[in-house]
Amino acid sequence: MSKLFLRNRTHRPSLAKCNIKLALVCSTLWISSAFAQSDVVSSSKVSQKNGTQKTAVNTDSSNNADVNVGNRPSMIGQTAPTDEKMVVLGHHYTDGVTRRAIGGGLMVKEDAPKSKSTVTRDYIEKQTPGLNPMQLIALLPGVNATDSDPMGLTGGHTSVRGMNESSMGYTLEGFPLNDIGSYAVYPQEIVDSENLSSIQVAQGSADLDSPTVSASGGVVNMYMIDPKEKMGGRADFTYGSFNTVRGFARFDTGLMGNSGTRAYFSFSDTHEDEWRGPGNESKIHGEMKVVKEWGKDNRVSFVVVGNQLDNYGTPTTTMASWNKYGIGVMGGPVSGSPPNTVYNSIYTGNTSANTNYYKLHPNPFTNIYISAPSRFNLGHNMTLTETPYFWYGFGNGGGAYWENMNSMSYGSQTMSGTIGGKNYGNTLLYNPSITRTYRPGAVTKWTWTSGINRLMIGYWFEYSYQRQTAPYSLISADGSPESEWGTGDNLILANGQVAQYRDTLTRTIINTPFIGDSISLFHNRLTIDAGLKYSIITRDGRNYLPDTSTGRVIDQTYREALPTMAFRYKVDNKNQLFFSVATNYRVPMNSSLYDSGAYYAGSGYSNHAATGLNPEISISEEFGWRYQGKLINTSVTYFHYNFTNRLFSQTITDPNNPSDYYSTSINGGGETTNGVDFEIGTRPIYNIRPYFSAEYIDARTDSNLAASASGVDALLPTKGKFAPQTPRYQFGFGLDYDNGGIFGNFSLKYVAKQYSTFMDDQNIPAYVRMNIGVGYRFKSWGLFKSPTIKLNLSNITNNHYLNYASGVESNANYATAMNGQSVKGYAPTYTIASPFSAIFSMSSGF
């Protein structure tokens, strides 16, 4: 089975890195661009009564009651939060709910010249407190979002139009969230839902100023609420299934004197038992945001997000294991079951049978995000937008192996080793995959507006340092690691070197200049966007393992020009048409640059480097229509993609040693995708707001896939096959009721079958998931503003199903190659959906 290395999985990550060289090209462009949203002066005048606020002007984009997004939306530069201000007229509660948002908070009035869907606080607030952002966008068109536990503490996966999260860009407050090496996204670490203002999903392409190197399939932008202008705060308490306990508290300073400065500080603590197998998850999370505004449209903000996650890995499953054992037996081992069913709850001593003891598979991780998105009015119709950021992460995905300390491998050499000066012979050793990342960067934009024309010039720079190791250390008498962080005494080889499963250092330097121009014609009825960014990504890699196929030093530079163009035409005040074409790309994961794993004489390391891979390129076209009336909003979008150099991981049989196999990144050739997205939502009809979304997609592989048959290269007949991880149909339905006191919501998501191989010989069956939420909002009483109780029921039918193909293979069964040879199949792996859960919560503003 293929070993894909992600830091919060039980597998060890083999990360890739590349080199550095700088070349910078910035070309000029003619006019063409749709409109960047004009900003709104944030002078809120608030009066409170019965826990509601009546806001004349509010820059918090979460409150989309009657929303006016300005008169010049654009795709050339909208990622920074200062480009996303919205005006809200009407009442809203202290938690941000307006009771007027379209579709219960699943739509906004949109003018962008490309497909974009937005979730706002009207929807976010009524879901289970603390859900991660992936869980909150599940109903949007094109989005297939999954989780593996009710609270989302073990993360999850998302695919949009068939592209998973590693092919999507994710940002928070304008700074990047994808792992710089693997492009993985860990949604449980990002933001508390109480502080989340909105989530925007651009299904087709990223904006020019999006700081991402993996957005070949679009981008997800998240924005936090602003601090309130009046001192106050909020507190939540949550309790429910699987001993879920969560507390949240936020304090808003209000305006501090005449400084124009306001801030909030929040803290949450979440605990949850594993629902499938032993162990538990816990998360301690803190956030702060400071905003200072002065003069005309000058704004500086400072955001800090800190997260400490400590949980145990949840094993994936194969189809054979799922059909035989299902979810496994909770709380203990399954007699005779394979290790990917559930981890063992009982430690029986220092034997090879205990490699699957759950305490040897922890996932501790600490991360800190810091950003300061700011906007400065330079006068003469010029604006400077600056988003500096710093990203820090440290942690691992744990695992254990039965090792003989008398015959440890150091490349092609075999030697003994000691821990603390002692040789333990055959013993069980803890072997976590440790990642430490330092990642500073900044996105700078200068914008000049002259009449109907707007010019934007910008630059994104980032330098990242990522150190990845996998040392061996001792296990305590109770079966737990002596140090789950892997920082205790490590195994030292006879030559004085630390024994490592992987041992790499990657420095990644990103230089991306961009330029965009927009023009507005016919009194803003027609807008034209055009832009270009030139991405230069240099990776300087060091592999400290000996006898690797690539040597110690690995340098790789990728350069790509990425043009974009879009048109939007307002037929009248209710109808608009839009068209966009964009080029996006994703450079290979750093795991493709390094050898790692066990060393075998004659064939080398079990995980071979796959150097020389080209970036994945996508050219996307969209054509859409929107209707935005007083009661109903709807949109229909046709989309078309052409992919070249599609990158994925595949298991290859070693031609020099057919009994061994390894995983590598390979070029899967081309892919063509056609499809239609649809969504419709209403404003309140007797306090009821329905929402419906749908997608049809046809995604086909354009190439025959390379495989290995009996040590001889061969091609599998995959051309024309339906692409994996892509449901042909999806439907989402949401129904919201809110009369100011009583509120409730219902959601349903249908996802058609998804193939897990490129030969289409194994798939996840179609499934339906339904959730219900009910609550009551009391009148304010003394210090307590709009106290609320609610009950959220998830997966109400307790449907046990597979929801994501986490390990895609070329073929699951024996297949016949183009040359007639037989090619062995490998079992894809899957994640299991979370079961029924009931979560009760109470909250109040103050």
pLDDT band of 710, cuts 50, 70, 90: very low
E-strand ranges in 668-726 read 671-682, 688-701, 705-709, 712-716
What average pLDDT does this structure show over 735-757? 95
Q: What's the total number of domains in the chain?
A: 1
Range in 210-219, 455-464, 493-502, 656-665 the model is least confident about: 656-665
Give pLDDT, residue 339. Answer: 42
How many C-alpha atoms does 439 have within 13 Å on its Cβ side?
26
pTM of this structure: 0.88
pLDDT band of 481, cuts 50, 70, 90: very high
What distance lies between CA 679 and its chain's CA centroid?
23
Range of the structural domain that residue 621 is part of: 232-845
Asked if the model's pLDDT at residue 50 lies above 70, the reply is no
What average pLDDT does this structure show over 443-468? 95
Query: Which 3 state secondary structure label does DSSP give 102?
Result: helix
Give pLDDT, residue 249. Answer: 97
Give pLDDT, residue 67. Answer: 37
Give pLDDT, residue 457. Answer: 96
User: 193: closest CA among 764, 843, 693, 688?
Assistant: 843
What DSSP letter does each residue of 155-204 carry, written as one string? --EEEETTEEGGGSEEEETTEE-S-TTT----GGGT--GGGEEEEEEESS
Asked if the model's pLDDT at residue 365 lies above 70, the reply is yes
E-strand ranges in 629-670 read 632-644, 647-653, 661-667
Give pLDDT, residue 84. Answer: 54
756-800: pLDDT as tens digits: 999 999 999 999 999 999 999 999 888 899 999 999 999 999 999
498, part of any domain: yes
548-573: pLDDT as tens digits: 989 899 898 999 999 999 999 999 99
Give pLDDT, residue 787. Answer: 94
Cα dihedral 90→96→102→104 (10° resolution): -140
Asked if the model's pLDDT at residue 338 lies above 70, the reply is no
Give pLDDT, residue 18. Answer: 35
713-724: pLDDT as tens digits: 688 999 999 999
CATH number of residue 507's parent domain: 2.40.170.20
462, part of any domain: yes
User: 142: closest CA among 157, 160, 156, 158?
Assistant: 160
Give pLDDT, residue 241. Answer: 96
pLDDT band of 580, cuts 50, 70, 90: very high
Give pLDDT, residue 33. Answer: 29
Calpha distance 377→382 (Å, rounded) = 6
pLDDT band of 712, cuts 50, 70, 90: low
Calpha distance 103→99 (Å, rounded) = 10
Residue percentage of the chain with pLDDT more than 90: 62
63, part of any domain: no
CB atoms within 10 A of CB 42: 17
Give pLDDT, residue 45. Answer: 32
29, part of any domain: no
Q: Tokens for 131?
A: 């859900």
What average pLDDT does this structure show over 174-200? 92
Asked if the model's pLDDT at residue 86 lies above 60, the reply is no
- Name the DSSP letter for residue 58: -
- Considering only residues 794 and 277, tell me which one the structure prediction assigns the higher pLDDT: 794
199, part of any domain: no
pLDDT band of 454, cuts 50, 70, 90: very high
Q: Tokens for 56?
A: 């004349």
- Name the DSSP letter for residue 721: P
pLDDT band of 488, cuts 50, 70, 90: confident
